[in-house]
Amino acid sequence: MARRPWAKDAPKQPTSFILAAEHYNRIMRILEKGINVEMEVELRAKYTDKDLTGHNIIAELPGTDLADEIVMAAAHYDGCVAGTGAEDNACGAVHVMEAARILKAIGIKPRRTIRFALWDGHEAGHSGARVYCGKHFADPETGKYHRDYEKLSGYYNLDYGTGRIRGIYLFHNYLAKPIFTEWMKPFHDLGMKHCFLIPSYDAGTEGYHDVGLPAFKFCQDPVENESRTYHSNMDVYDRIVPEYLKQGAVIVASFLYHTAMRDEKLPRLSVGKE
């Protein structure tokens, strides 16, 4: 199959469908006994090209004395078609939306503007987050930097399902470690205790790291996402653990608050900007 099936010039893809592990294993057991397997499948698919534009969703809590500076929390809201996208990535969207609700409900007056983003096009080339970064902050492909590049204080991405938040990936930004270590202390009893200097694959932050922006990903328990739910027909509401989402939303809200209120922006790593 083509590496980028969503591209305009990509060849047509073969029809495919997803089996539950139990059904697939039954087929394999029959084949191992030397018995041919016959399947009758009815597969219905619909394609539309009426609207080929991705739609990111943006909301803000306006800042006060540092209102021109920005703090962001983001997650993609599109999903794969096999299930309903509950873990990948409605859970991430819930973290972002609930953090926004919490901060609004308690009536905070953030110094910096807090921006909440739900990305489209993640499952089609990670385009929502990348294009937004290239348009508003900096484009790693063209090397063009925009005015808001210097205004972004911190960017937090969520794309790992329903699991409890256990820490945060720093993507080699060692200067942020002592800051986040302090911010995590109130959440030790909820299980968040770790700063990881190493990166973790996260398509939602790729463009931001490429241009040296302070972008981070929360580290979560995997629960069943790699073994059962992600990109499968098991990615449904029943796999979500509400208790874990509540824990994560509180942590996201707290990190946004601290980032918006501190005197200085979060530290950055140099990428050789000209």
| Region of poorest pLDDT, from 22-26, 135-139, 157-161, 229-233 | 229-233
The token pair that represents 131 in the structure block: 């294009």
For the chain, how many residues are written? 274
pLDDT band at 271 (very low <50, low <70, confident <90, very high): low
Hey, what CATH class is 57-261 in? Answer: alpha beta
What's the rounded mean pLDDT across residues 131-155? Answer: 93
* pLDDT over 70 (residue 70): yes
- Angle of the 177-184 helix axis to the 242-261 helix axis, nearest 10: 130
Closest CA to 69 of 134, 138, 137, 145: 137
Tell me the helices (H) and strands (E) count for the chain, helix number first: 6, 9
pTM above 0.85, yes or no: yes
Question: Torsion angle, CA of 109/115/116/119, rounded to 10 degrees?
Answer: 180
What pLDDT is recorded for position 18?
75
What does pLDDT average to over the chain? 90
**Per-residue pLDDT at 225 exceeds 90:** no
Least confident span in 90-99, 148-157, 192-201: 192-201
Q: In whole angstroms, give the CA distance from residue 53 to residue 67.
A: 30
**Is 60 exceeded by the pLDDT of residue 25?**
yes
Question: Model confidence at 182, in pLDDT bands (50, 70, 90)?
Answer: very high
Task: Provide the pLDDT confidence category of residue 140 given band limits of 50, 70 and 90.
Answer: confident
